[in-house]
Amino acid sequence: MALNPRSVFCRSQYLDSDSWSEALYHGRAVPGVDFHLGLVTGGYSARLRMMWEEPPDPLSNNDYERMYQAQRPDTFVRKWASRRWVERSSQSSLLLPSTSTFITEKEFAEHYAAAEFAAWHGLYCETAVTFWWGALGASDGPSAQKIFSDFLKHLNDWLHERHLPTAYFFCHESSPRIGVHTHLAVYLSLSSCVRLPVRDEFRRWAMEWPQRNGYGRCPRAIRVTGPAKQTPWLHWHRFHYQVKGYDRLAVVRRARNSPSGTDLMLGDLIAWPWQDPGAVTMMPRLGSAMNLGPARRRVGIPKYCDELRNPPRPKRPVVPREISLAEQLQELRPPKVPRPPFRSRYEDGWRDVRFLYPLDFITRVTNLSYVPEAPQQPPPQDDFMLKMELI
């Protein structure tokens, strides 16, 4: 019995079996069209089987998930395992229109371009910072936006003092439990061999920032997590976590142009399970440092990435000085060829996760090997024909 993975009742849209089976029961989902009855293991599984009178399937949910993922290696059928408990979906939540601020396909493309631009130059934003604006006294979006802008200004100064390129990207969300909050991923130039003190220094600086700036001691307002050594795949983990509130109806490739014959949805390119982002008033909904923005991508390289930051040069003396021979020869040399502009793979039309993301990340999500096929050898030449040619 075939399953339509484009159904609104797709198992990947729910984080637990109870919420999925409840949505199937109240939403009058049809087996074989919207779901497979053998996958249902929640509290409403018995009612669904009595309703449709179909025997249980011997295959488990993981078996079907692996099968569908093997059939569609270019998408994320499997999603990243989330430890977060969410509220169960109900019939009212499926029927009533949502007022949440979902991430559009255009916003996803811009956010992906900034993240890929940083990863292309080795600026892996592995350290995550979470802001709880209610704990900082921000009761609405404009007040939270003002505090966040102040924090980013101080963050740019902190990175500049340590000769680190400015690279980060962020998103804003709103949940019924803590309200408006922000997720930030920042580059700290971690080492792949030894543990550097920069991660611990940044953690202390960020968590003590409210007390230094007159907001009082707020131990739960700012949370910093991240590895002690360089872990490049975490860069994309942070990216997918920030775009998990995507528009589930957004189509990035129509069925006519898709190898699978079905519409390629935006959620097929995102490895994190969908979660409701809530109504967000902070703008922009997604953002990044200016060093990763369109202006620097047209230049082809983030600022201060080709060389370390040096202290400011002293002002030139008023009295003109003699120009040395080396400086005269330097002026006669042809200028360096400018770098080509950077275009993300998504902007160039790629809609395959095997090309959009690095191999070490997608294998953690899909559990597929992606081993390249061995080149086919030409068939052996017939001995009889060989002897005829020799004669």
Q: What is the mean pLDDT of the chain?
A: 83
Would you place residue 376 in the very low, low, confident or very high pLDDT band (cuts 50, 70, 90)?
low
pLDDT over threshold 80, residue 211: yes
Q: Which residue has the higher pLDDT, 238 or 14?
A: 238
Chain position carrying tokens 């802001």: 131
Average pLDDT over residues 364-377: 73
Domain assignments of the chain as residue spans, ordered by start:
11-95, 105-296
Give the SS3 label for residue 120: helix
pLDDT over threshold 70, residue 122: yes
Q: Give residue 57's pLDDT.
A: 61
Average pLDDT over residues 347-361: 95
**Cα separation of 65 and 367, whole Å?**
11
User: How do residues 140-172 score in pLDDT, each as one tens digit?
Assistant: 899 999 999 999 999 999 999 999 999 999 999
- At a CB cut-off of 8 Å and minimum separation 6, what does 121 contact? 301, 302, 305
User: How do residues 27-49 score in pLDDT, each as one tens digit?
Assistant: 878 887 777 777 787 778 888 87
**Cα separation of 381 and 376, whole Å?**
15
Average pLDDT over residues 250-270: 93
What CA–CA distances, in Å, run from 29 to 9, 48, 86, 327?
7, 10, 22, 77
Q: Give residue 56's pLDDT.
A: 58
**pTM, rounded to two decimals:** 0.75
Give the SS3 label for residue 141: helix
Q: Give residue 391's pLDDT.
A: 54
User: How do residues 213-239 score in pLDDT, each as one tens digit?
Assistant: 998 888 889 999 999 999 999 999 999
pLDDT over threshold 50, residue 347: yes
User: How do residues 47-102 score in pLDDT, each as one tens digit?
Assistant: 887 777 656 566 777 788 888 899 999 999 999 876 554 443 333 344 334 689 99
